A and B are shown apart, each in its own frame.
Chain A
């Protein structure tokens, strides 16, 4: 052969794409919009719109061309922008709502399905801009289709802003109520972070961080199906050997992302940022992280042993992926959303998986309590309590954690919420009803942990 790849290797690659759902989950273009600031919401929004259309006008077309040429599906093309709270500081809530509308219009114009960056970083406290932006979140998420929002309430270096945790419990409730006619879908586009990263390509939590260049291309790969099949082939292996198989598979999956990233960056004339080494499931059968854990030998995900299995999976994916990419970044860890993973949903229905076990699992993987529907009458304080716990896990373990909960209006345990598409469907899960109100109402700031003092 004129180049030395064996037939088996070629067929392996073809099988990964054809029957194991190997794909590029997202090409996300980060765009700096700090220069779009004007005196009012309308002028600022217009300027942001123009810049997005100018920079990302060819994003979808280029992605489609690469998909055709390389025969690798590229599922989503997306955009992240500088946190709007920074750009719009000095404007009031109503003007920021107008900016959200322009973001939505820009996303529609260039043909991307989500745009991230309706965000604020408030881990140590609020600026006026942060306060106005957070107040605008429920309005923007209910009146736009493609805008995604995130709020960073804690970091390992600065501790947990409990005022923000308190506030976000209410904002999530309000967002659910504003989109009550659609099962609270607004909340599926709202992430509360600890240790948010600046180069995350995945929605809903993507934003273009302050330390990022003018524009950049970040890639999110996917491949739970590929890892699943690799594990299924080796029922006899001990876990050390299995970790090696996962590493090799993750290497191959990540290489695809690296290639697509380099080609996209070259064709768009935008620097290549990072490949995010996350295992991102979809509602499609066989594209499930839960199935991987079960193929390792658990009857159902949620069984005792799930956390250990996930820890090993997550670590092996990173080790294999790190070697495959020149720049690794983003969230880089296995995602365990409920509504977006058919195996997780089955485990919840079977009574094997509950929110407490999910919380434990977030200690060892990316990225948090994700896409979990809870009863619509859950109080804001309980939601704040859940956020505080998750932020504490992130803060102490120096990792990113997040909460994306949907308190589905009018729904109770056992009911279903239906979002469709990549967001999927989810059974409403039980939440501990004992009140954290006294704790949450103390507010203030939980100080940074001792191991943040590492200078």
Chain B
């Protein structure tokens, strides 16, 4: 368990123009650094997993989540944001 500020963002929904642009813009505005992006499109269904670092961000995690979820609603996407420790704890011993 770390007090670090790495988060995992997932984005699920139907593919369209501007998904990554919109999300990256929100992250840039909040001074959140993208460390890794992995994205696939299967039969028009868009799946993206992002690893981001928010240690230099002034926004708190709740505000960032609200911004992303709101953007997701406009684009018809389901967006989640969680601390990386959840994934580490669940999948690695």
The interface of chain A, by Cβ under 8 A from chain B, is 1-5, 7, 9-11, 13-14, 17-18, 68-72, 252, 255-256, 258-259, 262-263, 323
Contacts and interface: CB of A to CB of B under 8 A. Distances in A.
B61 A69 contact: yes
A14 B8 CA distance: 10
A contact face: mostly helix, strand, loop, or mixed: helix
B90 A3 contact: no
Interface residues of B, number: 29
Interface string B53-93: 00000000110010000000000001011111111111111
A256 B84 contact: no
A5 B78 contact: no
Contacts, number: 74
B88 A262 contact: no
A11 B83 CA distance: 14
Given A18-B80, A71-B83, A255 B38 contact: no
B1 A262 contact: yes
A256 B1 contact: no
Contact of A7 (B38, B80, B90): B38
Contacts of A72: 82, 86
A257 to B, nearest CB: 10
Contacts of B90: 9, 13, 252, 255-256
A11 B8 CA distance: 10
Nearest to A257: B89
Given A2-B51, A11-B47, A14-B80, A259 B35 contact: no
Contact of B36 (A1, A18, A263): A1
A252 B92 CA distance: 9
A7 B80 CA distance: 14
Contacts of B8: 10
B80 A259 contact: no
Contacts of B40: 7
A69 B83 contact: yes
B87 A68 contact: no
Contacts of A7: 38, 40, 47, 49
A120 B40 CA distance: 59
23 contacts: A1-B51, A2-B6, A2-B36, A4-B92, A5-B88, A9-B91, A11-B10, A11-B47, A13-B82, A13-B90, A13-B91, A14-B80, A14-B82, A18-B78, A70-B82, A70-B83, A71-B80, A71-B82, A72-B82, A256-B90, A259-B86, A262-B1, A323-B93
Nearest to B82: A71
